[in-house]
Amino acid sequence: MVETDVLEESHLKWSSFVLRGILALIVGFLVLLWPGIGVLSAVILFGVLLLIASVQTLYLASKVPKGLPQPVVPVVTAVFGLILGIVALVFPWITAVALTWLIAFLMIWMGLIEIASAIFHPEFMKHPVLFGLSGGLGVILGGIFLFYPGLGALVLVTVYYGFFAILYGVLSIAIGLEVRSEKKAMEKKAAA
């Protein structure tokens, strides 16, 4: 009876990984194939994906047996993910602009660090001019994204989110198939 419960629970886990992966692949390919799908659609799909992943994390965290250390970090992360997913669904345009600004600030900051490193510490690198130019490009792109968040959001969503979603989907499906093969191995062992 216990083995049957474990097998059924294992089935839920592998199928949820595969479902999450398929959803991420669909989102990723839609964003890359049709950039005109819009930032709004991508942010809404991002919110849904974040909610699914957060609920799954909470579910898995709740299955830790008593007596073992309880997973505080995954629970806090999942709750934070749920909040962000809800915010993304309720306020998609604000979420898109906020994410674009955050990325713009990071690009500017990292670019300034690269420029400063190339100027003040060229002895630590082989090509300080290229390093400085790379930093300058980061500052310019960050500035464009900061002052034109709509353009920045479209570029970021199309390129980065599309590729991220595809990679995330492939990895999720791989995890699901691995869990499924473990389930089949458990079934064979139980039958023997």
What are 46-65's pLDDT values in tens digits?
889 889 989 988 888 888 78
For residue 111, what are its two tokens? 């670019």
Burial class (CB in 10 A: 0-12, 13-18, 19+), 87: middle
Instruction: Give a three-class secondary structure readout of 9-28.
Output: HHHHHHHHHHHHHHHHHHHH
Among 147, 148, 123, 122, which Cα is nearest to 135's?
122
Range list of β-strands (E), 107-165: none
Residue 192 confidence (pLDDT): 76
Residue type, 79: V
Among 158, 143, 155, which Cα is nearest to 110's?
143
Residue 51 confidence (pLDDT): 93
Residue 37 confidence (pLDDT): 65
Contact 56, 74 (CB under 8 A): no
Among 155, 133, 158, 134, which Cα is nearest to 146's?
155
C-alpha span between 188 and 168 (Å, rounded): 30
- Position with higher pLDDT, 184 vs 31: 184
What are 78-125's pLDDT values in tens digits?
999 999 999 989 998 888 888 888 888 988 999 899 899 889 888 877
Q: Assess whether pLDDT exceeds 70 at residue 11.
A: no
C-alpha span between 9 and 20 (Å, rounded): 17
Q: What is the DSSP letter of 66?
A: T
